[in-house]
Amino acid sequence: MKKIISLCLFISIIISVFADVRLPKIFGDNMVLQRNKQISVWGWADANEKITVQFNHQTKTVKAGKDRKWMVKLDNESAGGPYQLTITGKNTITFNNVMVGEVWICSGQSNMEFPIEGWGKVMNYQQEEANANYPLIRQIKIPLTVSSIPKDDISSGEWKECSPQTAGDFTAIGYFFARELYNELKIPIGLINTTWGGTQVESWTSREAFENSDEFKDMIAQMPALDLDSLAKVRQVAALKKIEAIQGSVPTAHEAEKWKDVDIDESHFGHMNLPGLWESSQLGDMDGVVWFRKTINLTADDAGKTATLELAMIDDNDITYVNGVKVGATNSYNAKRNYSIPAGILKEGKNVIAIRVEDTGGGGGVYGDSSDMKLTIENRNMPLYGDWLFAVESISGESASVGPNSYPTLLFNAMVNPLIPYTMQGVIWYQGEANAGRAYQYRKAFPLMINDWRKHWNEGDFPFYFVQLSSWNADNGNSAKGSTWAELREAQTMTLSLPNTGMAVTTDIGNETDIHPKDKQDVGKRLAAIALHNVYEKNIVFSGPMYQSMQTNGNKIILSFTSAGSGLMVKDKYGYLKGFEVAGADKQFHYAKASIDGDKVIVYNDSVNAPVAVRYNWADYADDGNLFNKEGFPAVPFRTDTWKGITEENKFAIGQ
């Protein structure tokens, strides 16, 4: 009898659970619904349950299908509010303080995730927060989640009005974008903040898109159809195999402790060029502890003297030894390492620098400018960049767990699919840093993702505006060495061939040593200018000069541009154009003299008699270029040649 009662109770609980009408958590109090479009409202209920949706002066009814899903399309609404949205079935749900206005999705990696305060602090963040009294600008932050299959809901979410108390958690670029729109349009602006730092574009793209792509269909066929726990086990096995292939085995703690000493067996160590994060090496996407060793030889004159050891930056933490003696330790992923070596440590002949690097997630290793890796003895500098030995001490549990870059599709499944088909105006996007090593393939990967989102929303070619990579000295890249960041910017520019796209150029507001430049205000303004012109039909200039064509006249090249606005301008107090290079048929680039002649730019170098190619701002840290239009928008970096770059052979692969 007790078993029957328990069974009946269990069945009644199940029935009551399914009896409740439920909406996805993207809906909530304080939300913003899109104006001037049919508004999608959807959820779950009992099969065949009648659902009534009431909003403003509208009432719509629908029955849940056999799959318990239901959806209504509310008629177009003008901007306004506050309203109530009420959904009634066997229970009633009411959302309060609902506004109608413009809804924009803000997505990408850390530079879009970058908050006004929080872990990032924009320029003048205290003043910006104090002035952030915009209750009609609202944000919902999508939780950081991965999934191996498309999810129909997020785990949590809360729409928040913008105020001095809440603004610090807003996406900074999204907020400054919204503020520009609000000040111009005076209507509510809703931001859906679905961002995750350090993520690659392949994570934000659906499996179906890859399966239908000639470029990626073979790759996605290798992704196992497993749950996250099973995928984690696959990653653990793959990580261990990778380490064993490099060095034979993972050492015991006692063995690794000796790696700081001068005389050890280094035969099992691998080689890696530093500076450079190890994700770009044979280690790939691994978190854990790695030792780096470099042997230098000193003369008797240098032996015993004090010295300074500089090691650029290290992600995340390090303990550094010289000849087995600890000389410094730092727990910070973006601080330059500068350690003093006391007298008596350096020896005549062989000396060994050993760095124990712990990476807790994301990028790992020694990175930054190669000129910041050096040993200084009495004002004499010994470069330390280049070849180092390395070996893995341990792999962290994070390497086995499935993160956003562990496999493709994981973020689309968990942080995009649950938002579909929430009615919105468009997307602003800032991403690409994590794809710079595969910049050439980004020419296909980025447009694939944009088209994928548009297909899933089924709302046509909605606006998709993105930020071109800013200036940062990723690897001292330039025309002579090659630049992954310049090639990624080129891929972004090429994506403008898709309809209804726009690009904000930001090379003039970057930071040589910080991948997260603090000027997010201008980024937001430049994205807003595109939207105000294209979507809201404001008669304004919204972009900078873009290369159109070239003509050769003797040893000079004459360049033509579109988007010149009211005229070309040199942003330099001396009036000199910078950032241009020319090359002859030998493909060797030389810094060029350049000047504005009406709506043209004339470029030449006296040592290049027969120039065939021009490049502008072709570097990782591309701050030299100072060609603008008179409205203050910088010129788009470009090259006129199609010579092979340094990323053409690099392809995305499962488990890389």
**For 425-453, how does the pLDDT look when each residue is reduced to its tens digit (9 = 90+)?**
999 999 999 999 999 999 999 999 999 99
Q: Kindly report which listed range (48-57, 75-84, 236-245, 353-362) carries the lowest average pLDDT score.
A: 236-245
Q: In this predicted model, what pLDDT tens digit does every residue of 178-198 receive, in sequence order? A: 999 999 999 999 999 999 998
User: pLDDT: is 558 or 359 the higher one?
Assistant: 558
- Give the long-range contacts of residues 321-329, CB within 8 A, separation 24 or more: 321/260, 321/353, 321/354, 321/355, 321/356, 322/346, 322/351, 322/352, 322/353, 322/354, 323/262, 323/347, 323/351, 323/352, 324/260, 324/261, 324/262, 324/352, 324/354, 326/260
- Predicted local distance difference test score (pLDDT) of residue 1: 45
Q: Kindly report which listed range (56-70, 128-142, 161-175, 565-579) carries the lowest average pLDDT score.
A: 565-579
Q: Does the structural domain 232-400 have CATH classification 2.60.40.10?
A: no
Asked whether residue 17 carries a pLDDT value surpassing 50, the answer given is no
Q: How confident is the model at residue 397 (pLDDT cuts 50, 70, 90)?
A: low
Sole residue written with tokens 């749900």: 93
- Judge contact between 625 and 470, C-beta under 8 A: no
Q: What DSSP assignment string belongs to 392-422?
A: EEEE-HHHHS--TTTSTTHHIIIIIGGGTT-
Q: What is the mean pLDDT of the chain?
A: 93
- Predicted local distance difference test score (pLDDT) of residue 14: 43
Q: Which of 513, 495, 516 is nearest to 504 (CA)?
A: 495
**CATH fold of 2-100, please?**
Immunoglobulin-like (2.60.40)
- Predicted local distance difference test score (pLDDT) of residue 398: 53
- Predicted local distance difference test score (pLDDT) of residue 399: 52
Which CA distances in Å does 628 have to 163, 465, 571? 35, 20, 7
Please state, in angstroms and rounded to a whole number, the distance separating the CA atoms of residues 395 and 289: 7
Asked whether residue 317 carries a pLDDT value surpassing 70, the answer given is yes
- Predicted local distance difference test score (pLDDT) of residue 313: 92
Segment holding 331, helix H or strand E: strand 325-331
Bond from prior residue into 143 cis (ω within 30 degrees of 0): no
Q: How confident is the model at residue 526 (pLDDT cuts 50, 70, 90)?
A: very high
Bond from prior residue into 316 cis (ω within 30 degrees of 0): yes
Q: Which of 42, 105, 28, 44 is nearest to 73 (CA)?
A: 42
Q: Write down the domain spans for the chain.
A: 2-100, 101-222+404-534, 232-400, 546-635
Please state, in angstroms and rounded to a whole number, the distance separating the CA atoms of residues 434 and 108: 10
Please state, in angstroms and rounded to a whole number, the distance separating the CA atoms of residues 531 and 425: 10
Q: How confident is the model at residue 656 (pLDDT cuts 50, 70, 90)?
A: low
Q: Please report, as a single letter, which amino acid is at residue 107.
A: S
Task: Determine the CATH number of domain 101-222+404-534.
Answer: 3.40.50.1110
Q: Which of 127, 125, 199, 136 is nearest to 169 (CA)?
A: 125
- Residue 485 makes CB contacts below 8 A (sequence gap 6+) with 436, 439, 469, 472, 474, 477, 619, 620, 622
Same fold, 101-222+404-534 and 232-400: no
